[in-house]
Structure 1
């Protein structure tokens, strides 16, 4: 009579070796992937700022002025309170309400902008603070200093 043999399996040592190898690979690849995520957020913010600038320029062409600082970017999606501007408003100029920046903060809008621009649209970057470098740098058409 034959005794059935034990089913083949992995030993604890083999499992630990595999886990160490996976950990080493993750430690080498992980930082590269996360740096790509940060740079892609910067690119998304730059693209959104350009789209918002285009919407402000379209508003300016149709209404005859840029949005006031009090109206902000919300006027690109909702008609202005001013009756004269409301009569010329042909919006909405955005498909949906003004998006948040990739870090979850609202885009900033101010009048005037830097270097002779009539307005500023910008994100404060990853840190949400004025200034900064790298991922924390302000992105967009900035206000005067």
Structure 2
């Protein structure tokens, strides 16, 4: 005997609750994963190895800038030039010592750019309140193509 009442179905005396929306969430997650996969494949096809490094550097700069924004939100200011980007992974001991520094840090570790060099930090920045950048493949300021600087202002 099957009887339908509202959102529940009674089968032989048992009530089973339907989970509307659960399948929709699964579809959204799968679609997002497929979209990411397609984007990565397209990136691989459209760019060479150095082009991929430039894209990776831009992503790193974005992640670092997001961490700096969280640091500023918690502490009312960006790390000083002296404190540098290391303030995102360990609590600074130089003044001004952040009062509300997030336990565990803002980044698990500070990445190097894809060419093995440290990311640069300027406070105050030239292009914004702060700047985060890589000098590119040649590790020198300026340049063109793969040697061009990659920064938070782009």
The residue aligned with 2:77 is 65
After superposition, residues 90-105 of structure 1 pair within 5 angstroms as 90-91=102-103, 92-95=105-108, 97-105=109-117
SS in 2 for 1:114: coil
Q: How many residues align?
A: 107
Superposed displacement of residue 140, structure 1: 1.0
Provide structure 1 residue ranges, at least 5 long, that are not aligned to the other structure: 1-32
1:83–1:140: structure 2 CA closer, same or farther, 3 Å change rule?
closer
| CA distance in structure 2 between the aligned counterparts of 1:100 and 1:84, rounded to whole angstroms | 26
- Find the structure with the greater CA-based Rg: 1
Shift >3 Å, 4+ stretches: 82-86
Structure 2, unmatched stretches of 5+, are 1-44
Q: CA RMSD in A?
A: 1.8
Partner of 2:145: 134
- Mapped partners of 1:50, 1:129: distance in 2: 21
TM-score if structure 1 supplies the norm length?
Answer: 0.68
Q: Shift of residue 87 of structure 1?
A: 2.7
Report which of the two has the higher share of helix.
Answer: 1
Going by fraction, where is strand more abundant, 1 or 2? Answer: 2
Secondary structure at the counterpart of residue 100 of structure 1: coil
Whole-Å separation in 2 of the counterparts to 1:126 and 1:84:
34
Q: Which residue of 1 aligns with 2:56?
A: 44
Q: Which has the higher contact order (CA 8 A, sep 6+)?
A: 1
Aligned residue in 2 for 1:12: none
